[in-house]
Amino acid sequence: MTPDTPPDLLSMTPIELRSALESHFTSRGEPKYRASQVEKWIYERLGRSMEEMTDLPVTQRDELAQSFRLDEPVSDVVQRSEDGTVKHLWRLSDDKLVESVLIPTESRLTLCISSQAGCAMGCTFCATGWGGFDRQLTAGEIVGQYRASRRWAHENDYGSISNIVYMGMGEPLANRKALHPSLTILNQGYGVGARRITVSTVGVIPGILELAERPEQFRLALSLHAPSSELRRELIPLEKRYPLREVLAALEHFEDGGGKRITFEYTMIDGVNDAPELIELLGDLALRVSAFVNLIPFNPIPYQKWRPSKPERILEFSRRLASRGVSVAVRETRGQDIDAACGQLRGHTLSQIGLKKSVAEISE
Ligand code: SAH
Ligand code: SF4
């Protein structure tokens, strides 16, 4: 992007948007209420271009289009699973591809969005990790996945999106420059409640501390996957930089903020992280930060021979954790017939290899 690329309306927080629009219109001798008209097109009518803003005079639409961008990702592929899960592959303005997934259940419609094209963290069980890092998404590109998915859900009788999880491609806390404004925009601009938005991280401590400082009650999911540092190091390279002990301390700080909820994601891999001896340790960690534990069967990927844990073992984990007073749920893998997990569809399109990774529904 060149320095003289016009600013992107979708990347602005509501306060920034208001101020940019007001100065744009007043400097042209136009009334201030034009700003509210445009805001309505952005947040309520989900307008895709200035041309659509038909309550503005044509010259004003043209001038707006010269001064600002309104680039929403374009749908490249849509796949719908037998279980209703829908996966979108979005083409960004530079032709990079990212994915989002809509996961319907009886009581809610969860949208899983990407925060980066690819991921630099290299977790050994993750298809996106094996694919490497491409680039950061802008706040507008993150929010754009929500707008376009919301429109799609409306047009296809899926109803309204109730929950958003940052569990698609990428590590959101490694893209905080875009994450923070995207949270503000979704919450204040589009009216998605903070408790209905979950940021999932592999344990980027400075990012956890920043989220702790925010006044809103966004939820935090830690991709734990192992309750000891030694085992975790084999799955998550970042464990060497941010060891579990320190991540836990950051989570305690996050929880001290009051009203802030934590979830642990635990992907269960046969013979790797599912030994019954680990249950007690996992339970201790969960109780320490009052975390809700999601047990997720590992979704096989082509680069690893690993298999998901046996259902009996997953049940044993869940029963024994529950009997220790831990809130726990076993998450089914959704949309397997369409490889409905972030990382997979892009993989197919890019190289025709079937990448596998599960999208688990997080919000209990
Ligand atoms: N980078 C963030 C968010 C994106 S990954 C994070 O790691 O938390 C979203 C979730 O999918 C994470 O909990 C991740 O551990 C999980 N995941 C990745 N690969 C998986 C696989 N093959 N099977 C099951 N879950 C997987
Ligand atoms: Fe990145 Fe999350 Fe995958 Fe790890 S699990 S490689 S942090 S997307």
Q: Which domains does the chain have, with CATH numbers?
A: 9-67 (1.10.150.530), 74-350 (3.20.20.70)
12-34 pLDDT, tens digit each: 999 999 999 999 999 999 999 99
- What the block records as the tokens of 227 is 């309750």
The stretch 89-107 carries a mean pLDDT of 93
Task: Name the percent of the chain lying above pLDDT 90.
Answer: 84
Q: Residue 359: pLDDT band by 50, 70, 90 thresholds?
A: very low
pLDDT of residue 258: 81
The stretch 182-197 carries a mean pLDDT of 98
Residue 141 CA to ligand 1 centre (angstroms): 20
Q: Residue 293: pLDDT band by 50, 70, 90 thresholds?
A: very high
Nearest-10 crossing angle of helices 311-323, 278-288:
50
Out of 123, 126, 342, 361, pick the active-site residue: 342
Q: In the chain, count H helices and then E strands.
A: 12, 12
Which residues share a beta bridge with 88? Answer: 78, 100
CA distance readout (Å), 131 to 99, 134, 232, 325 = 14, 9, 20, 38
Q: Which ligand is nearest to the CA of 266?
A: 1
Asked if pLDDT for residue 343 goes beyond 80, the answer is: no
342 flagged as catalytic: yes
C-beta 110 within 6 A of ligand 1: no
Dihedral sign of CA atoms 54, 55, 59, 61 in order: negative
Task: Name the percent of the chain lying above pLDDT 70.
Answer: 91
Asked if pLDDT for residue 302 goes beyond 90, the answer is: no
How much is the pTM? 0.93
Pick the atom of ligand 2 nearest to 174's CA: 7
Q: Residue 360: pLDDT band by 50, 70, 90 thresholds?
A: very low
How many whole angstroms separate alpha carbon 331 and alpha carbon 245?
26
CA distance readout (Å), 224 to 115, 302, 317, 333 = 19, 22, 15, 18
Q: Residue 259: pLDDT band by 50, 70, 90 thresholds?
A: confident
Q: Report which of residues 2 and 48 the model is more confident about.
A: 48
219-238 pLDDT, tens digit each: 999 999 999 999 999 999 99
